[in-house]
Amino acid sequence: MINIDTLKRTQETEIMDDFDLQGAELEKTLSDLDTINKWLGGNAITLNGIKHILKEFPQNEEIKVVDVGCGNGAILREIAVWARKSDISIKLVGIDANTHAIQIAKRLSASYPGIGFYTLNIFSEEFQQMEFDIVLCTLTLHHFKESEIISLLQNFHNQSKLGIVINDLHRSRLAYVLFQAFCKVFINNEIARKDGLISILRGFKKYDLQQLSSSLTNATHHISWKWAFRYQWVILKQHTL
């Protein structure tokens, strides 16, 4: 633990940042990351964020939700199941810059007609012209530098009618060491192990998120620490209050 520096976010890149990663290697890595996320309660954080927004702004019409950096679409399928059980009319959209990940997501979501997937760069004009009720950003924000994050937050705010749900990692030495131990027992995938550790070091302290939140002054921010070493950041649009 002595050599793990968590004072500042690392600039080291992840293997998954390569949008040309494909084939069985990509599919196994996405599956393993999905397993980690489920076991450590990550999906529930995003889903509870949606519930928070809908509690503030009850909807009688169909709501449109986008997940940026959707990977294999796992969180969207979970939301689709919840919406069906809750009798909520919902349209779900998954966006990812890796066309191979989108192909996997489409195949895995074939029995979910309410989910659409698109290969898009979230900085592109095409994406920025799209509008949604809620923007989800699950384990994606940490892939970007601070200046990029500020730009993305403003874009998401402009694109969303109700709000934004960000679910991302808490940068800490304890999280790093516990993840190492977790992987030794449960994860036999070198990419998932390496990228997971780098992701933690690219994650956030609460003061990072608070500082970033100051870039959106016309919104209400709720930042909460969640197990296992996550932050849930719910951003509500003020003009809809």
Count how many Cα atoms sit within 13 Å of the Cα of residue 233 in the half-sphere of its side chain.
28
In a domain, 62, yes or no: yes
Query: What's the pLDDT score for residue 1?
Result: 44
Q: Is the pLDDT of residue 39 over 80?
A: no
Convert the pLDDT of each residue in 98-128 to its tens digit: 998 999 999 999 999 999 999 999 999 999 9
Query: What's the pLDDT score for residue 23?
Result: 66
In a domain, 42, yes or no: yes
Mean pLDDT (whole number) for 46-71: 94
DSSP symbol at 124: S
Mean pLDDT (whole number) for 24-37: 78
Convert the pLDDT of each residue in 157-207 to its tens digit: 999 999 999 999 999 999 999 999 988 888 778 888 899 999 999 999 999
Closest among 176, 177, 179 to 36, alpha carbons compared: 179
Q: Average per-residue pLDDT in the chain?
A: 91
Q: Is the pLDDT of residue 26 over 80?
A: no
In a domain, 226, yes or no: yes
Query: What's the pLDDT score for residue 240?
Result: 42
Split at pLDDT 50, 70, 90, the class of 241 is very low
Mean pLDDT (whole number) for 138-159: 96
Quote the strand ranges of 57-155, DSSP E. Answer: 63-68, 90-96, 115-119, 132-138
Q: How far is CA 16 from CA 56, 135, 151, 190, 224, in A?
A: 35, 22, 22, 12, 27
Indicate the pTM of the whole model: 0.93
Residue 71 backbone phi and psi in degrees, to 5: 60, -125
Q: How far is Cα 114 from Cα 92, in angstroms, rounded to an integer?
A: 6
In a domain, 9, yes or no: no
DSSP symbol at 223: E
> Would you state the structure tokens that stand for residue 158, as one six-digit string?
């402009």
Strand order in the sheet with 132-138: 115-119, 90-96, 63-68, 132-138, 160-169, 230-237, 219-226
In a domain, 5, yes or no: no
In a domain, 98, yes or no: yes
Q: Is the pLDDT of residue 77 over 70?
A: yes
End-to-end CA distance of the chain: give it in Å, rounded: 46
In a domain, 2, yes or no: no
Domains identified in the chain, total number: 1
Pairing of strands 230-237, 160-169: antiparallel
In a domain, 3, yes or no: no
Range of the domain at 94: 15-240
CATH number at residue 133: 3.40.50.150
Pairing of strands 132-138, 63-68: parallel
